[in-house]
Amino acid sequence: MKILKPLSILLLTVLSLSLTSCGDDDDGASTTVEASFQLEGENFTVSTRSAVLLNEILSIQLFDAGQAEGVIINIKNPDVGTYDLGPNGITDNNASFVLNNIGAYVSKVPGGSGEISITSFNTAEMTVSGTFQFVGLNGTGDTRTITNGEFTNLPYTEGVGGNGNNVLTADIDGTSLNANSVTAFSIEFQGITSISVSAINNSTFSNIGLTLPADIEVGTYDFDSFPLPGAIIGQYNIDLGGSNPKSYSSQDGSITISSYDVNAGTMEGTFNFTAGDFTGQDPASFEITNGAFEISF
């Protein structure tokens, strides 16, 4: 069965960040952290709660004890207010229900719908509260309905800048990316640490991102097409941060890690992949070739 891939959990790109995701519980303060929702009218047990703010994108993750099923909601420029999670809202605002770590039901596709209301966004305490509901579809048109969603005093983490000496070069359909800015950072999400690299051309707003498990070793690996924690993912973004952004993720291809010093935090490698639309709605594809990177993080 073909199942739609969700929007990138961490957006993989954009970002000059280094962060650690929030834990499952409160930080010891007097406030109580709560999160809940219903799946098809039945209470869903939320055991893992986390949120990260990456380059103005707030990603909220509410998962079960096995971290195999749960909700992921992304919001651009979060603040108190209500945001459309359906296909008529902006690209970066979206929700998905991840099922057994192999597929997702996405609100952003035709037939999907939903909204999230942020009732509190406390930048001093770095907590967020709100309510949500959405309907997501998979690739066969099956739906999952999420209702009565609520989170209270959910802590979020915010990234910091990366290393300005990083290098990433690549061609997009034969044309050089010519990145002006390349950043690398480590991310811990749902107990899995990954290394992400982001390169952007600040004139064209074209962006290429890579995400790799931190325990990867020297060798050659196939890219994954489903952006879950621990996956090897390539991503190509058009008009990143502009009025008509589009995101395409690796559908095939490979990456070779030629050098990796865990203690020093350095890595070198090469890559190639075909980038396509995660929903299958856009037939466009892009060949990312002659990729090479040298990073410190």
Six token digits for residue 58: 């707030």
Six token digits for residue 115: 């909204």
* Domain segments of the chain as ranges: 21-158, 167-296
How many CA atoms are closer than 13 Å to the CA of 250, on its beta-carbon side?
29
How confident is the prediction along the chain (297 residues), in pLDDT tens digits per residue? 223 333 333 333 333 223 333 344 444 444 688 999 999 999 999 988 888 886 678 889 898 876 678 898 989 999 999 999 999 988 789 998 987 645 678 898 889 999 999 999 999 999 999 999 999 988 778 899 999 999 999 999 875 344 557 899 999 999 999 988 788 877 665 567 888 898 888 778 889 999 999 999 999 999 998 777 788 999 998 876 555 678 899 999 999 999 999 988 899 999 999 999 866 778 999 999 999 999 987
Q: pTM here? A: 0.57
What is the CA angle 114-280-239, rounded to 5? 75
What pLDDT is stored for residue 178 in this prediction? 92
What pLDDT is stored for residue 17 in this prediction? 29
For residue 138, CA distances in Å to 90, 207, 224, 282 come to 20, 27, 18, 15
What pLDDT is stored for residue 165 in this prediction? 76
Residue among 228, 276, 234 at smallest CA distance from 103:
228
Six token digits for residue 40: 């098809």
What pLDDT is stored for residue 143 in this prediction? 93
φ, ψ of residue 168 in degrees (nearest 5):
-145, 125
Residue among 60, 68, 4 at smallest CA distance from 36:
60
| Integer Cα distance of 293 and 236 in angstroms | 15
Q: What is the 3-state secondary structure (H, E, C) of 16-78?
A: CCCEECCCCCCCCCCCCCEEEEEECCEEECCCEEEEEEECCEEEEEEECCCCCCEEEEEEECC
| Integer Cα distance of 39 and 47 in angstroms | 15
Return the SS3 of 83: strand
What pLDDT is stored for residue 189 in this prediction? 59
What pLDDT is stored for residue 141 in this prediction? 85
| Integer Cα distance of 201 and 176 in angstroms | 10
What pLDDT is stored for residue 19 in this prediction? 30
